[in-house]
Amino acid sequence: MEKAACDLCKLLAAPPEGVVIWADDALTVVAVDEPGYPGFTRVVWNAHVKEMTDLAPHERERVMRAVWAVEQAQRDVLAPHKVNVASFGNMTPHVHWHVIPRYADDMHFPNPTWGARQRSIDTNSDAAAVAVRTALLPELHRTIKERLEESHHG
């Protein structure tokens, strides 16, 4: 896939307001608007690179430090049952990692979020749980920024 056709390159070139949580010269951390999954975050390498092994070792370490900082922020703020961390790139071959807070009551649990739904979010208690998690997003994003600044300068 050429850079011009890459969805992540397009996103990084003109991100919608409120999507970018943190960015530096190498990485951008973005909030993913996935219904039912508040806190879903993506760590994206800014340059159009297909595989982690295309990066130099210190660059790979930088990516993973950011992924772990996002995961820790999610755990501290959202207290999920589990955090899923994945890098696929089959549809978008550009180095990026998905960091997804998971809950026993989410639509897909225990399956992956791209798998078959196990339940719908149509009860008041399910909607309330998602609303509580959504209300924590400003705190989550502040915490992610703090952790990434510490990681970046530490």
DSSP state, 136? T
> What is the rounded CA–CA span in Å between residue 66 and residue 87?
14
> What is the rounded CA–CA span in Å between residue 6 and residue 65?
24
> What is the rounded CA–CA span in Å between residue 130 and residue 79?
13
Provide the CATH number for the domain around residue 39.
3.30.428.10
- Give per-residue pLDDT as tens, 33-79: 998 899 999 999 999 999 999 999 999 999 999 999 999 999 999 99
DSSP string computed for 30-93: EE---TT-TT-EEEEESS--S-GGGS-HHHHHHHHHHHHHHHHHHHHHH--SEEEEE---SSS-
Order of strands across the sheet that contains 27-31: 20-23, 27-31, 41-45, 96-102, 82-86
pLDDT of residue 66: 98
What is the domain extent for residue 8?
3-153
pTM exceeding 0.85: yes
| Residue 97 φ/ψ, nearest 5 degrees | -125, 135
Percent of the chain residues topping a pLDDT of 90: 73
Overall domain count for the chain: 1
